[in-house]
Structures are given as structure tokens and as C-alpha cells.
């Protein structure tokens, strides 16, 4: 669509069609946010939830890491390549040539790997879980994670999607 064109307001029904991806993404991001918040609250307060054993807490952290990794893998192999056909926000490239959302994935995973290795060490007895150490493992990529979760949903929002796709095409987007 030409940037100079003025877009007409969307009907409620059309908004729903165009906003489907944002709503689905926000749902999955909500699951990740809840898990992160549980871990972060414990790491910053120095107390894990009373209802969780040490093993359950470590398992929650490892499940978070696995879910985030799978989520990003699906996006990078199925969703982003499809969207990148028309949307520069999802284009791949090396280093700074990649779209910002993909650069954020790389930054997130750099921190996620250390976080996951630490928890795996705790799980297998190589290390004792220390919440202050866990906080340090989370703090370095916390800001980029939260920025990414918000930005990705906004990018998939109705007002942006309608610039690139027709209503009929929206049904074929693998979201």
C-alpha cells in the first residue's frame, strides 16, 4: 500500500480480522510474562514462592527458557519469513542488517543461554541455586525481552497489518 494513501477507519469486524495476529501473539507473550514475573519476583525479593519446592522453581525456570526458545524458533522459521515478504520489520540479514525484532531475538537468546545453563547446573547439582545470581542472569536481557514482547504485538496490530495485507490474505498468515 502506498504510504501517501489515507487509510479509512476500520470497522469492528475488519479490526478483528487485522488484529488476529496481535491477539494471538499477546496471548503467548502473556504466558511468558507470567512465568518471567514469577522468576523475577523471587530473584529480586530473595524468596521463591512458598508453594514451590526448589525443584519446582528450577523446573519453572527451565520451562520458561524452553517455551521462549520454541516460541522464537516458530517465529523465525514459519511466521517471520512469511511476513517478511512485505514487512520490513521481519526481514532477516546479518548483524545490523536484520530487522530490529530479529536483533532483539539474538540479544534475548544471548542472555537466555546463560540463564538456562545456570539453572541446568542447579538442577543437576553442579551449583546451588542462589536467587541473587539468578537475578544477575536475568537482568542483562530483561529490558530487551519486555521491549520485544510489546513491540512484536504492536507490529502485528491491525493498523500496521492493514498497510501490507488484505483481509483475505490475513487468513493465510501462519500465526
∠ CA 94-97-98, nearest 5°, is 75
pTM above 0.85, yes or no: yes
According to DSSP H, which parts of 46-95 are helical? 54-74, 80-83
* All structural domains of the chain with their residue ranges: 12-44+55-171
pLDDT grade for 126, boundaries at 50, 70 and 90: confident
What is residue 175's predicted lDDT score, i.e. its pLDDT? 85
Mean per-residue pLDDT for 16-22? 96
What is residue 95's predicted lDDT score, i.e. its pLDDT? 52
pLDDT in tens, 25-41: 999 999 999 999 999 99
C-alpha to C-alpha distance for 17 and 15, rounded to whole angstroms: 5
C-alpha to C-alpha distance for 27 and 31, rounded to whole angstroms: 7
Please give the grid coordinates belonging to residue 8: 479509512
C-alpha to C-alpha distance for 57 and 82, rounded to whole angstroms: 37
Amino acid at each position: 500500500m502506498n504510504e501517501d494513501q489515507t487509510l479509512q477507519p476500520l470497522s469492528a469486524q475488519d479490526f478483528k480480522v487485522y488484529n488476529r495476529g496481535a491477539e494471538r501473539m499477546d496471548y503467548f507473550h502473556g504466558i511468558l510474562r507470567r512465568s518471567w514475573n514469577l522468576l523475577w519476583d523471587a530473584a529480586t525479593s530473595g524468596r521463591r514462592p512458598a508453594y514451590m519446592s526448589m525443584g519446582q522453581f528450577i523446573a519453572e525456570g527451565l520451562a520458561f527458557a524452553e517455551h521462549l526458545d520454541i516460541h522464537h524458533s516458530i517465529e523465525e522459521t514459519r511466521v517471520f519469513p512469511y511476513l517478511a515478504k512485505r514487512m520490513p520489520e521481519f526481514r532477516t540479514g546479518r548483524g545490523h542488517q536484520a530487522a530490529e525484532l530479529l536483533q532483539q531475538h539474538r540479544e534475548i537468546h544471548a542472555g537466555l543461554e546463560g540463564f538456562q545453563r545456570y539453572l541446568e547446573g542447579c538442577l543437576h547439582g553442579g551449583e546451588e541455586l542462589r536467587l541473587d545470581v539468578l537475578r544477575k542472569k536475568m537482568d542483562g536481557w530483561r529490558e530487551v525481552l519486555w521491549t520485544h514482547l510489546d513491540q512484536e504485538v504492536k507490529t502485528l496490530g491491525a493498523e500496521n497489518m492493514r498497510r501490507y495485507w488484505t483481509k483475505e490474505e490475513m487468513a493465510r498468515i501462519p500465526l
